Amino acid sequence: MEQALYITRIEQLEYMRDNFTRMYFGAEFCERLIPNPDDVSRIAVFACERGLGLTLMTPYVTDAGLERLVPVLDAVHAQSMPVEVVFNDWGVLHLLRHDYPGFVPVMGRLLNKTKRGPRIMNIIDQLPGTCRDYFESCVLSVGAACDFLKHRSVRRVEFDNQLQGIRLVTTDPEIAKSLYVPYVFVSTTRYCLSAGCDDPDRMDYVGVQDCSRECRDYVFQLDNPVMRVPLLRRGNAVFYVNDRMPETIADGCFDRIVVQPEMPV
In tens digits, the chain (265 residues) has pLDDT values of: 899 999 999 999 999 999 999 999 999 999 999 999 999 999 999 999 999 999 999 999 999 999 999 999 999 999 989 999 999 999 999 999 999 999 999 999 999 989 888 998 998 889 888 888 888 888 898 999 999 999 999 999 999 999 998 888 778 889 999 999 999 999 998 888 777 777 777 767 766 777 878 888 889 999 998 888 999 999 899 999 999 887 777 677 899 999 999 999 9
CATH of domain 2-186+242-259: 3.20.20.380
Query: What does the angle CA 134 – CA 84 – CA 154 come to, to the nearest 5 degrees?
Result: 45
Q: Which residues lie below 8 Å from residue 237, measured CB to CB, with a gap of 6+?
A: 29, 30, 185, 186, 187, 188, 263, 265
Residue ranges per domain, the chain?
A: 2-186+242-259
Q: Which residues of 15-45 are buried (b: 16+ CB within 10 A; e: fewer)?
A: ebeeebebbbbbbbbbbbbbbebeebbbbbe
Q: Where are the alpha helices (DSSP H) in the chain?
A: 37-49, 63-77, 90-99, 129-136, 143-151
- The whole-angstrom distance between residue 100's C-alpha and the CA centroid of its chain comes to 21
DSSP assignments along 97-126, one per residue? HHH-TTSEEEE-GGGS-----GGGGGTGGG
Q: Are strands 183-188 and 220-222 parallel, antiparallel or unpaired?
A: unpaired
